[in-house]
Amino acid sequence: MSLKRFAKNTAIYGIATILPRIVNVLLLRLFTSELKAASFSDATYFWIFASLFNVILTYGMETAFFRYYTKLKNSKKVSDTAFTSIVISTAVFLLIIMTARYKLAALLNFDVRYFTILIWVVILDTLVVIPYAYLRVHNRPLRYMFYKLANISVYVISIIFFFKVLPSLDLKSISGFFNVENNAIYIYYSNLLASAVTFLLFIPVMKDFRLHIDRKLWVQMIKYGLPVMAAGLAYVINENLDKYLLRNMLGREIMGAYSATYKIGVFMSLYITAFRLGAEPFFFSHSEHKDAKNKYAEILLWFTIAGSVFYVFIIAYMDVIARFFIRKEEYFSTISIVPVILLANLLLGIYYNLTVWYKLTDRTRYGMYLSWIGALITIVVNVLFIPVYGFMASAWATLISYGTMTVASYLLGRKYYKIHYDIKKIVFYLALSTFAVFIMYHYFYHNIMIKTLIALAYTGLIVLLERKRLLYLK
């Protein structure tokens, strides 16, 4: 593949990955205007278990598919084995869980209607995991993007219909389907419609697969995939356990407000995702170059600098941003988590940069270990301190978890793949930006002019200190 085509494909996959996340952030404005915090908690509860079941039902088979598809010459055997494995396990899961759905719904504190919709969404999404991967290994980025955009388009259109069009129609008096007390179920309906349409669109792709399993290959793929699943479960815990515990320990209203304000931290996540899409291919393609380690060190420094500027400016205009996306006053009870969550996500981005050592030395099991260290910290801090400090304990748990993972990865990297990062400057910019954020948030929250001056002063200081590097880059 030519470099030009590689860049084009990366851009297309980037759009397909980032755009749905941007749309979900924009929908926050609609959700917080139409839903009470308690109802938004029910929608968040859906997303928590959807992500959990997704990790369990795919059990690392997607990653194993990519690995063995490129490793073995008989790619057809790999495709059929991966797809058939997912189909069989999904069918067994569906049979068991639908039989026991009333008991499971009660156990998980779900309305059985919500739980049934959740199961079908997860089933449909799982069945298209390997077909999505199949498109990627066959270099069909445009078709891949079409399916991703079709999914998010159906979801958005459904959301708009249920929340904006439906109230003006008289359908509620005709059908009990539309006559609901808690309109959070409309989000469930929208997810189901989007998943169903995507599944139907994928049927022509699925015809390329044959229902057949090569047992020897399957065992190898399972062994490869299970550690990936374990790391995925740790990630789900890091991202979602706080919300689950807040719902059960402090109530639906607090959890709903926390989940909404937490999403403002997604702005940092979007920056990290965009960066990873460009950086990860570079890490692997550049690994054999003599100056590879110097480049990796330079990349992390600039990632930190750009991320810290982003962090400072988000807080500078946080009041405006929050008022735009969050429409009901009850959600603002948890707005104080935003600076902590943004910093936590910035540290997570640094962690992703530092993981280059275990990816290039084939020690990926350390990724699982580090993820579980973070997950254990998340569990312990939330369980111990939510009763004492409330929802702020969850925000700090996220920061401590990602901070620990970052430090641990750096120390292990020094042992197995030493890169001379400019740690002093990285720590300096993190500390200085955090100090600037502290001043802006606690003393000038409603004074946009002063906050803007602080943000510009911070940026100006970086330009002054890094002028030689900037000239070199230019």
DSSP-assigned letters across all residues of 32-77: HHHS-HHHHHHHHHHHHHHHHHHHHHHTTHHHHHHHHHHH-S-HHH
SS3 362: coil
Q: Are residues 92 and 208 in the same domain?
A: yes
Q: Are residues 86 and 141 in the same domain?
A: yes
Q: Are residues 263 and 200 in the same domain?
A: no
Q: Distance of CA 134 to CAs 138, 183, 202, 206, Å?
A: 6, 37, 11, 10
Q: Distance of CA 205 to CAs 63, 127, 138, Å?
A: 19, 12, 12
Contact assessment for residue 444 and residue 390, using Cβ atoms and an 8 Å cutoff? no
Task: Answer whether residue 220 is part of any domain.
Answer: no
Helix/strand/coil (H/E/C) assignment for every residue in 202-254:
HHHHHCCCCCCCCHHHHHHHHHHHHHHHHHHHHHHHHHHHHHHHHHHHCCHHH
State which of 213, 240, 262 marks the end of a domain.
213
According to DSSP, residue 331 is labeled G
Please compute, for residue 328, the number of CA atoms within 13 A of its CA located in the half-sphere on the CB side.
18
According to DSSP, residue 166 is labeled G
The backbone region for 212, taken as left when phi is positive above 0, alpha when psi lies in -120 to 50, beta otherwise, is: beta
**0.95 surpassed by pTM:** no
Contact assessment for residue 441 and residue 315, using Cβ atoms and an 8 Å cutoff? yes
Structurally, the chain folds into a number of domains equal to 2
Task: Answer whether residue 460 is part of any domain.
Answer: yes
Q: Are residues 153 and 279 in the same domain?
A: no
Q: Are residues 461 and 319 in the same domain?
A: yes
User: What is the predicted pLDDT for the residue at 267?
Assistant: 79
User: What is the predicted pLDDT for the residue at 340?
Assistant: 96
Q: Are residues 11 and 154 in the same domain?
A: yes
Residue length, the chain? Answer: 474
State which of 213, 235, 268 marks the end of a domain.
213
Encoded tokens for 297:
């060190």
d(CA 214, CA 231): 26
Task: Answer whether residue 244 is part of any domain.
Answer: no
- Counting as low any pLDDT under 70, the low residues of the chain are 1-10, 73-74, 170-180, 276-288, 472-474
User: What is the predicted pLDDT for the residue at 3?
Assistant: 46
Q: Are residues 123 and 41 in the same domain?
A: yes
Q: Are residues 320 and 182 in the same domain?
A: no
Q: Are residues 183 and 71 in the same domain?
A: yes
End-to-end CA distance of the chain: 28
Domain that holds residue 169: 3-213
Q: Are residues 205 and 255 in the same domain?
A: no
Q: Are residues 125 and 272 in the same domain?
A: no
Q: Are residues 123 and 31 in the same domain?
A: yes
Task: Answer whether residue 230 is part of any domain.
Answer: no
User: What is the predicted pLDDT for the residue at 286?
Assistant: 63
Contact assessment for residue 73 and residue 217, using Cβ atoms and an 8 Å cutoff? no
Contact assessment for residue 37 and residue 44, using Cβ atoms and an 8 Å cutoff? no
The backbone region for 36, taken as left when phi is positive above 0, alpha when psi lies in -120 to 50, beta otherwise, is: beta
